[in-house]
Amino acid sequence: MQRPAVMGIVNVTPDSFSDGGVHLDPAVAAAAARRMVEDGAAIVDVGGESTRPGSESVSLDEELRRVVPVLEQLQGVPVSVDTAKSEVARRALELGAELVNDVTALRGDSDLAGIVADAGAYLCLMHMRGEPRTMQLDPRYEDVAGEVAAFLEERLAFAVDAGIAEEHVCLDPGIGFGKTAEQNFELIRRLDVLLALGRPVLVGVSRKSSFGRLFDPDARTGSLAASLGAAVAACERGASIFRVHDVREHVEALAAAGAIA
């Protein structure tokens, strides 16, 4: 088993599904990010736009207003920026971000690929069916793992064609982005289909409602315990990067799983 890396989530948003409003003050967000690194995060993922089901997009000015003051206070901290906007990515990379986490997989903003390539930055390509506003309306697949893998393979080729080093790209099945709970479970169960593309796989299962709904059909979030169980299951199937809200607990759970493996 590859040594897992934990990516701590810092949502600088009023409306994120599980931590909306918690990190709106830049000083609070930056302190939380530093704590995550002390707790064992390899990188912190700073985002200024919620992509929860049903969310509306935010303007460029608003996203910059949320994210830039936090990044200014995170000099020397390994940072990823969760954005689909090239201008936000450009400012974040200037401020020292190392990775761009684009949930649209370079389909949203045609200038983003060039900005990542020119900066020599790392990139996460994530699968999403549809867009956040509508993506949970009856998603259907013939073969969810095969279709997600085919999409990511095509997006990886697009990124490499745009000049992004293949070794700098990780792939993400996009848990909860246009998938039912059972489709999310199947993607993790069959992670080998994604690993066959030859790139590290990142998963975001933290607090996602698919795991909460195992216990309460109306749950909007998953518990910490359910998140840890899902992360360990993904780790055992070869995922190597874990995007999480609760860093210390995931570092410990994944270390325990790794010691046994």
Active-site residue set: 208, 243
Does residue 178 touch ligand HH2 according to CB under 6 A? no
Enter the DSSP assignment of 140: -
Which tokens in the block code for residue 237?
């199937």
Please say which residue, 117 or 126, places its beta carbon nearer to ligand HH2: 126
Q: Is residue 52 involved in binding ligand HH2 (CB under 6 A)?
A: yes
> Per CB under 6 A, which of residues 3..32 are in contact with ligand HH2?
9, 11, 13, 16-18
Q: Which residues, numbered 192-211, are part of the site for ligand HH2 (CB under 6 A)? A: 202, 204
| Shortest reach from residue 126's CB to ligand HH2, in Å | 4
Can residue 184 be called a binding residue for ligand HH2 (CB under 6 A)? Answer: no
Contact status: 253 vs ligand HH2 (CB under 6 A): no
Minimal distance, residue 148 CB to ligand HH2, in Å: 12
Residue facing ligand HH2 at closest CB distance: 204
Q: Name every residue whose Cβ is closer than 8 Å to that of residue 102 and which is 6 or more positions away in sequence.
A: 83, 84, 89, 108, 112, 123, 124, 125, 126
> Letter for the amino acid at 131?
E
Residue 158's CB is within 10 A of a number of other CB atoms, namely: 15
Of 89, 243, 244, 246, which one interacts with ligand HH2 (CB under 6 A)? 243
23 residue type, one letter: H
Q: Cβ(41)–Cβ(247) under 8 Å?
A: yes
Q: How far apart, in whole angstroms, are the C-alpha atoms of residue 251 and residue 258?
A: 10
Instruction: Give the number of other Cβ atoms within 10 Å of residue 216's Cβ.
Output: 12
The answer to whether residue 71 forms part of the interface with ligand HH2 (CB under 6 A) is no
Q: What are the structure tokens assigned to 33, written together?
A: 């990010």
Q: Give CA–CA dist 248/135, Å, rounded.
A: 31
Q: In the complex with ligand HH2, which residue's Cβ is closer, 11 or 240?
A: 11
Residues near ligand HH2 (CB under 6 A)? 9, 11, 13, 16-18, 47, 50-52, 82, 101, 103, 124, 126, 172, 174-175, 202, 204, 243
